Amino acid sequence: MTARPAATVPAVVVEGEDATEPVHRGWPAHRLGRMRVAWEAVPDGAALLRVTVAREQWDAARLVAAVPGRGEVAEVPLDHADAFEHVDLALPAEVVDAVRSDGLILRLADGRDAVHVFGAGSPFPPRLLAIPAPDTDPRELFLAGIASPVSLQAFGWKLGCVLDGLDDLHRATGEPRFAERSRAHLAEYFEGGALTYQDPWGEVRRGAVYGIEGLLPLAALVRAGDAATALRLCDGYLPEARRADGAIRDNAMLSTEGMYTVAYPLALLGAATDRQDLVEDAAHQLRVRMRALREDGILLRRYEDGRVEFRDWVRAWTWYLLGLARTVPVIAPYVMTGEFVAELESVAREALALRGDDGFWRTYVREATSPVETSGSAGIAAAFALGAGHGILAPEWADEARATASALEARVGAEGVLGGASQANKGGERLQRSPHRVNSQVGMGLLAQLLAALLWSTRSVRARAR
């Protein structure tokens, strides 16, 4: 069944305050406020109004849509929204009819922090999206979305998850659209070979990574054949981030993110440059975190003063498992990996026992009443499928991953975007425990990794059986 792409109608911003702070590449953006938007054409029937956040937000607010003369017609919470986050407001058919003649007013009802959204003339203007038809194939819709500009993320771990998914899909399918989109996303930040981006606090950075999260996109650089740039960026960051015991830490703490965002790119870089020291460094980053962060479950963070945070948060489990599943096959030709293979199998079995009957993990994996979380579910299942494909987990793990993939495809919406993810953890555990859920390109990247791994794990298992 072929997917019918959602109809997108470009917006015209009739009035609005231009953003005063810089946004990505200087694309047109507006500060809410009050912003009136109109469209030259409007789809029939119910629609989604989708706006894309242009800068990191560190506050809670409420976005309201109103029709002139008719009052408020829709609202959505904005709670520590991320740059490039796609925010949806559902508009019933009668409201869409009114919008056709009167346009819409977007305003911020409350909140202490500024919220910026991309405007007309950017790749992500306020847009009206037709609801995907019931006979739309969600997988085809998703694959079209991940291969489009819609999957762009801020530089760092978010971008790295998407790039890994795109590159995996290219290797699994041979389709050039995925490699082309991976290169296009990298080019957003490496223009002429020089790295320029806005960090998670909205500050412009040039020629340096901002922390351990910023190392993950270097894996894609290495795969693209530019190990030299990746090595230069590592050399500029790692010495200042290294503890006396060799662990790479950030803000006086170890995190499970480093299982993926540090160990994996170091492993690829070491293999690509024949640097045994980098491969051993990657193994050390896994080992030190296995000792520090597996404690009555999985911790996201352990601080040097003894504090711990985010115990059994679903994405802590994702980074732990995915870091092992992606790093171990790279370092296996160079170092002994038995302890890592055993750890992957042990934690995978524990994770599987915590999955819900619906195929999803909860935001806090041991708390059945905490909300379903799609991005972490995709990441954990991707680790299962990757382990099976590489032969470091039994073939049956791919079947378990497939069950979660089927559940996730039902959460794919307009433009192929995956919904149902928890917000980034900059809002703390209060936000993670709330029912607030967002569209997630990170989740798209992890789902892409899962689907790609399922494609080639089947081939790998069959090849080993012959």
The pairing of strands 190-191 and 127-130 is: unpaired
* Domain co-membership, 383 together with 352: yes
Task: State which of 76, 111, 130 marks the end of a domain.
Answer: 130
* Domain co-membership, 74 together with 165: no
* Domain co-membership, 197 together with 341: yes
Q: What is the tens place of the pLDDT at every residue in 290-304?
A: 999 999 999 999 999
Find all residues with CB under 8 Å of 19, minimum gap 6, and list them. Answer: 29, 30, 31, 54, 55, 116
* pLDDT at res. 8: 55
* Domain co-membership, 266 together with 215: yes
Residue 450 belongs to domain with CATH number: 1.50.10.10
* Domain co-membership, 271 together with 360: yes
* pLDDT at res. 10: 56
* Domain co-membership, 163 together with 183: yes
* pLDDT at res. 14: 66
Residue 351 Cα distances to 7, 359, 379, 432, angstroms: 39, 12, 12, 19
Q: What is the tens place of the pLDDT at every residue in 362-415?
A: 999 999 999 999 999 999 999 999 999 999 999 999 999 999 999 999 999 999
* pLDDT at res. 33: 85
* pLDDT at res. 2: 34
C-beta separation of 453 from 445 below 8 A:
no
* pLDDT at res. 435: 95
Task: State which of 78, 104, 130 marks the end of a domain.
Answer: 130
Q: For 200-209, b where at least 16 C-beta lie within 10 A, e where not — what string?
A: bebeebeeeb
Q: How many helices (H) and strands (E) in the chain?
A: 15, 20
Q: For 94-114, b where at least 16 C-beta lie within 10 A, e where not — what string?
A: ebbebbeeebbbbbbeebeeb
* pLDDT at res. 221: 97
In a domain, 1, yes or no: no
Phi, psi of 10 (to 5 degrees): -60, 150
* pLDDT at res. 460: 64
Task: State which of 77, 104, 130 marks the end of a domain.
Answer: 130
* pLDDT at res. 6: 41
C-beta separation of 441 from 150 below 8 A:
yes
- Walk along the chain (466 residues) in steps of 10 and give the mean pLDDT of each run: 42 76 93 89 92 94 93 95 97 94 90 84 93 93 98 98 98 98 97 90 94 97 97 97 96 96 98 98 98 96 96 98 98 98 98 98 96 98 97 96 98 97 94 96 98 86 63
Alpha carbon dihedral 328, 329, 333, 338, in 10-degree steps, equals 40
In a domain, 16, yes or no: yes
> Which residue do the tokens 């470091």 mark?
392
* Domain co-membership, 118 together with 207: no
In a domain, 2, yes or no: no
Q: Count structural domains, the chain.
A: 2
**Could you give the CA distance from residue 435 to residue 421 in angstroms, rounded to a whole number?**
10
Written as six digits, the tokens of 300 are: 């996201």
What average pLDDT does the chain have?
93
* Domain co-membership, 123 together with 150: no
Find all residues with CB under 8 Å of 183, minimum gap 6, and list them. Answer: 224
* Full residue range of the structural domain in which residue 26 is found: 8-130
C-beta separation of 324 from 273 below 8 A:
no
In a domain, 420, yes or no: yes
Predicted model pTM = 0.95
Q: What is the tens place of the pLDDT at every residue in 337-358?
A: 999 999 999 999 999 999 999 9
